[in-house]
A and B are shown apart, each in its own frame.
Chain A
């Protein structure tokens, strides 16, 4: 049983590597790929602004409120709350939670789109025309994600900090000056680097895994649903695993 699991994993991993190698081939027409990449940037980036923004507000708010509660009665100065909100959102919460949510929104959409194309023979039609379908369908999505997801994560971090402010200052947990002092204290540039490294790695994972699930779907609507679900589940698992590995390497 264990051997079957390992061989299944190796089969999928090998097929994934071959697919990605084919996906990053020379385009037939750069202008077509450019147009498709811009379209994907709009779908992935602009289309995710609202949900990323909303989540970011609550990430910051919850972090501020929870830490305020934890620090109550202790000798730790209250301005530390701003510092903790800033660093926890930049280092961990903004990239990880945003990308977990994007795996659900963007990843499932990608798997369903490509899987639907597979089922309706659109991919076969393109293959017969001579299009490198792995490249045309996958490369623009991955490149678009590599550009826009780090921007979304940076925006999420910024909005989270504001969310923390909105949850703590008007509620009287601390003063405006204390929060701002905390946000400005003990800043380390490498945290920003870690945030962007994580967001780039997570962006690659969630798009490529979702593309793989959709590209190789076989069967009907049930299988398409499973592919969409698997895209999210596997992306989430790999995001968390890579989060851990990046933390070890960069800390």
Chain B
């Protein structure tokens, strides 16, 4: 589990996050949603240590993330996997080399063991046989899946996804959502997803945090979204008249 305790983050005069206190649950898909500029990406970067809070604490189970020295931080980071919005695959490496990179860097596995592990991860994301392709030779959806494969290759305890559905068609988005959910449940990871995708919210949102102007405006799960009377949530989720009509119809039923 990851817990934030009264986390603030400012950039100069601009206060982006104001007193965020929340929990991200193990074995669940935890979603951070909100309008552009609400602070979602900043919060995600604080959770993975790419930024440091101006105030407050972040706990990884019993470990205070902010108090770690560089060596301990690196130890925690080896338990973390992250899927970036643009996948962040290394262009000059093949798919296999990309996925194998953490194994090469942090394990003493033999070549065969590494290959077996890479093939397992590719199979897990339904991408067998693309080992020798380069990122530029793969589609957006394939790149996301390779990104997920690389994120899980060291069997992490924590998985972070920054807008995993960005740039994908609806069908492929569902594939990615299902993949993330199944991996989370299988490995009992703490998964945190930063997303705009309403389908993700309604399908895999076990624990949803709505950020609004740097504060938590609503917290709940996918089953509570429809019936919630929180105006900020309703304005965000059901922004379009079409979705409002769908919501009204679903509530009537």
Q: Which residues of A contact B (CB under 8 A)?
A: 28-29, 32, 120-122, 124-125, 127-132
Q: Are A128 and B106 in contact (CB under 8 A)?
A: no
From known contacts A32-B105, A124-B88, A125-B82, infer whether A130 and B77 are also in contact, taking CB-CB under 8 Å.
Answer: yes
The 0/1 profile, CB within 8 Å of A marked 1, for residues 132-173 of chain B is: 000000000000000000000010000010000000000000
Is the beta-carbon distance between B88 and A125 smaller than 8 angstroms?
yes
Instruction: Show the binding face of B for A, using Cβ within 8 Å.
Output: 48-50, 70, 74-75, 77-78, 80-82, 84-86, 88, 90-91, 101-102, 104-106, 154, 160
* B111 → A minimal CB distance (Å): 12
Q: How far is the CA of A171 from the CA of B160 in the complex (A)?
A: 70
Tell me which residues across on chain A come within 8 A of B160, comparing CB atoms.
128
Task: Tell me how many residue pairs across A and B have CB atoms closer than 8 Å.
Answer: 52
Give CA–CA (A47, B248) in the complex, Å: 66
Bound CA–CA A131/B75 (angstroms): 10
Residue pair A28, B48 in contact (C-beta under 8 Å)? no
Partner of B78 from A124, A130, A132 at Cβ < 8 Å: A130
- Are B104's CB and A29's CB within 8 A? yes
Q: By the criterion CB–CB under 8 Å, are A129 and B84 in contact? A: no
Q: Are A127 and B105 in contact (CB under 8 A)?
A: no
B50 touches A120 (CB 8 A): no
User: Shortest CB–CB separation between residue B5 and chain A, in angstroms?
Assistant: 22
| With A121-B88, A128-B80 as contacts: A29 and B106 at CB distance below 8 Å | yes
Whether A29 and B105, one on each chain, are in contact in the complex, defined by CB atoms closer than 8 angstroms, is yes
Q: With A28-B106, A129-B101 given, is the CB distance from A121 to B74 under 8 Å?
A: no
Chain A's nearest CB lies how many Å from the CB of B64?
18
By a CB distance below 8 angstroms, the chain A residues around B84 are: 121, 124-125
